[in-house]
Amino acid sequence: MNLYWLTAPDREVAAAVEAQRRESRPRWVPTKREMLVHVNRALILWYLCLACLPIGIKIDGTQDGVATPGDITAFTIVLVILAVWIVGTWRLEKWAKLPPSPRARMKEWRRMLTALANGFEPEASRTATFAALITAAPRGVFHYPRFAAPGVEFGTLTERRRRGDTWQYIAVKLPAPLPHLILDATANNRVRSDLPVGVGRGQRLSLEGDFDRWFHLYSPAAYGTDAYSVLTPDVMAALIDDASAYNVEIVDDVLVFFTAATVDFTAPEHWEKVGAVLTGVAPRIARRAREYRDERVPGQAEPRVITALRFGLESGGKPWVEPRSRIGADGRRLDIRDRRQRNRVVMALAAVGYFAFLVFLYAIPAIFGFAGFMSIVDGK
C-alpha cells in the first residue's frame, strides 16, 4: 500500500486535491453539525411547551382567563430567552452550512488521495453493493467511506436503523462461486459471537491443528468435504496471519471479511491490514474458487479438457464455451437465524413506534406550547 498521503505536508495535500477537483464526502451523509441543528430545533419546541404551558394553565384554570402582572413578566422573560435562542439558532444553522473544519477536511483529503494512489475510487453508496450477512439488514445499509476498484471494495458499512450496527469490511469478487461458508473469528468475540446472525451448531466443522482457536467454521451439512478442499493448509495459515481480526463469509462468488469496528482510514495500520488481506489470503481463496467444482451438479465434475474434446467431436469443431460453475441447492446457503429479520407485524409496530417518537419529539411540544402561548395572549 502506498501510504504517502497519510503523512504528507498539509500544503502538498491541498495542492493534490485541487488538481483532482473532487470531494469524497457525499451530501446525503449527515454531518455532526446537521445533527446538532435537528436537536436544537426539538429543544426549542420543548422549551416553549414547558415555559408557556404552566403559565397558560394558571391563567385559564385559576385566574378565570385573566393574566396578572406577574404572568406578563414571566411571559416577557420567556420571549426574551426565546429571541436570544432564535438568534443563536440562526447562527448555528449558518455554521452548519459551512464547509467542514480544516482539520476534518484535511482528514477527508488524505484518505481520498491514499485511495487514489492505490487504485481505488472513493465511491460512497446509499444501497448495498453486494449480498452478504452484513448487507441483509431489514432497512438496508449504506457504505461510507467506501473505496472501490474492479472486483474489490472496502470501507465502512452502517445499517439503516436506530443505533444500527457499523462494520468494517473488505469484499472481493471471486472467479467462480463456492459453497456458503462462515468463519467466526474468535479474536473479536466477547460474551458471544459478534456475527449478526445465529448459525446452527450442527453445521460447525473442526479443522486440523489449532485453527479452531482462531476461527469457528460453519458449512452446509452436506458440504463438509468441500469446505476442507477450499480451506487448505496454506489458506488456513494465511487466514491466521492476515485476517485473524475479521469474520469471513463466502457466499456465491463474493468473499467478505468483516468486523464490528469503527475505523479511521487516516491511520496507516488500517490500510496495511487491507493490503495484507488483498495480497495474502484473498488470492489463495480465489485460486481455490477457480479450481473448485461441485460434483453434485450435473456436468460440473467432468474434467474440462475431456468436456472440451467431446464437445469438439460432437459439434464438428465449433468454438467451445466453458460451462458456468454452479453450486448445488444444499450448498448455496447455510441454515441461519437472522436476529435482525422481523415479521410484518413487528415491522409495522416498529414503524408506528418511530412515528410516535417523531410526534413526541416535535408535534406534542408544538401543540401544547402553542396552546399555552394563546392562553397567555388571550388573558385579560
- Look over the chain and give the mean of its residue pLDDT values, rounded to a whole number: 81
- Residue 92's pLDDT band (boundaries 50, 70, 90)? confident
* Local structure of 230: helix, strand or coil: helix
What is the number of other CB atoms lying within 10 angstroms of the CB of residue 220? 21
In a domain, 230, yes or no: yes
pLDDT in tens, 280-339: 999 999 999 988 888 887 766 555 555 545 545 555 555 544 556 788 888 888 888 776
Please give the model's pTM, rounded to 2 decimal places.
0.70
Residue holding cell 436570544? Answer: 84
In a domain, 321, yes or no: no
In a domain, 220, yes or no: yes
Which range marks the domain in which residue 171 is found?
Answer: 123-291
pLDDT in tens, 204-245: 888 877 888 999 999 998 898 899 999 999 999 999 999 999
In a domain, 355, yes or no: no
125 has pLDDT over 50: yes
In a domain, 25, yes or no: no
Cell of 160: 439503516
Please give the tally of structural domains in the chain.
1
pLDDT in tens, 348-357: 666 677 677 7
Q: What is the pLDDT of residue 352?
A: 73
Q: Which residue has the higher pLDDT, 130 or 41?
A: 130
Report DSSP letters for 24-39, one per residue.
-S-TTS--HHHHHHHH
Tell me the H-state helices in the chain.
Answer: 10-20, 32-62, 69-96, 102-117, 224-230, 233-242, 268-279, 281-291, 304-315, 329-332, 344-358, 364-378
Residue 332 · residue 252 · CB < 8 Å:
yes
In a domain, 256, yes or no: yes
In a domain, 71, yes or no: no
